Amino acid sequence: MHPFLLEALAAAEAHFRTDARCVGMYLHGSIGRGETDAYSDIDVCAVIEDAHYPAVKAEMRELCSNLFGPIVAWLPEGDRPNYCNYAFLFEHGNELLLTDFDIISRSLFVERNQPPDRILWDRVGILHEVAAKTRPQAKAAPERVLRLIDTYWVYAYLDGKYWARKDLYKLLYVQDTLFRTHARVLNLLHRETEGSWWAGDMASLPSRDQRRMRVYFSAATLGAVARSLARSLDIFAEDARQLCLQKGIPYPAEREAAVRRHLQAMGLPQPV
């Protein structure tokens, strides 16, 4: 991690420690897990008393500019009345650096009940209280598993008309949706969770599955999309059947068969 990012983080921590409106701060992402490298950014969150959240929110851009450096780009993400992530680029000398700074209201932090990766400080003990909780991991209901499978085959069906129209960009859109749905199935199969962000979740999957999933990214032309789809359908069907077997759910083979017949009728190349 860039040394100045750590300096700026220390300055932000010192600032909020003296601000009675803030009840604590914590880290998440790679810095929170202790997995940073030379390219890592800061992911930090300040927990704000509900009554003071709007005022702190109004100050964030100027505050971050003062603590980190001149802001080049300011991107509020997930903005709502009691939470926002501010992703911003700022200048440090001749360098351009990135930070993700969240603010969350005290009540929403407690309601979410998501243990922080690493607590920086905790004025009233609520961060440690949440961190100490062990929550049973929710098991995927059969209805959710079947919904994911239905999602996959409904979107695969759409490839038929987009192939017939030679609409490359809608085919690529469908491939993206198929990939994300398939990734959720694999996460359920191996980790009992659908995951949160596929680009991070993939590293937790077996290396074999990581290699198999790359088939979705091999397409840039109509022919390449068709070849990629033919392979990806087979891979998904294999994984979905295994997940259904693991969960004791009958695999809806008739849905797969119907979609495959449709795609064949639409002229899409079939797996060799």
- SS3 for 102-155, per residue? EEEEHHHHHHHCCCCCEEEEECCCHHHHHHHCCCCCCCCCHHHHHHHHHHHHHH
Residues 11, 121, single domain; the answer is yes
CATH assignment at residue 100? 3.30.460.10
Domain extent for 23 = 3-132
Residues 23, 128, single domain; the answer is yes
Least reliable range by pLDDT among 125-129, 135-139, 206-210, 264-268? 135-139
Residues 169, 191, single domain; the answer is yes
CA 87: distance to chain centroid?
A: 15
Strand, helix or coil at 244? helix
Residues 6+ apart with CB under 8 A from 81: 53
pLDDT recorded at residue 131: 86
Question: Per-residue pLDDT tens for 146-186?
Answer: 999 999 999 999 999 999 999 999 999 999 999 999 999 99
What residues are paired with 232 via a beta bridge? none
Where does the pLDDT of residue 134 fall: very low under 50, low under 70, confident under 90, or very high at 90 and above? low
Task: Identify the domain boundary among 77, 109, 132.
Answer: 132
Residues 85, 193, single domain; the answer is no
Task: Identify the domain boundary among 132, 154, 169.
Answer: 132
Residues 31, 73, single domain; the answer is yes
Q: How far apart are CA 186 and CA 180, in angstroms?
A: 10
Residues 151, 128, single domain; the answer is no
Residues 61, 13, single domain; the answer is yes
What residues are paired with 73 via a beta bridge? 89
Residues 92, 178, single domain; the answer is no
Q: How far apart are CA 133 and CA 120, in angstroms?
A: 18
Question: Per-residue pLDDT tens for 21-78?
Answer: 999 999 998 898 888 888 889 999 999 999 999 999 999 999 999 999 999 999 999 8
Residues 159, 57, single domain; the answer is no
Task: Identify the domain boundary among 132, 160, 186.
Answer: 132
Tokens (6 digits) for 34: 């202790």
- In-domain check, residue 272: no
Structural domain tally of the chain?
Answer: 2
pLDDT recorded at residue 109: 95
Alpha helices in the chain (DSSP H): 3-17, 29-33, 53-67, 106-112, 126-132, 142-165, 168-191, 198-201, 207-213, 222-247, 253-265
- In-domain check, residue 270: no
pLDDT recorded at residue 132: 86
CATH assignment at residue 181? 1.20.120
Task: Give the count of beta carbons closer than 10 Å to the beta carbon of residue 75.
Answer: 12
Residues 81, 21, single domain; the answer is yes
Q: How far apart are CA 255 and CA 236, in angstroms?
A: 13
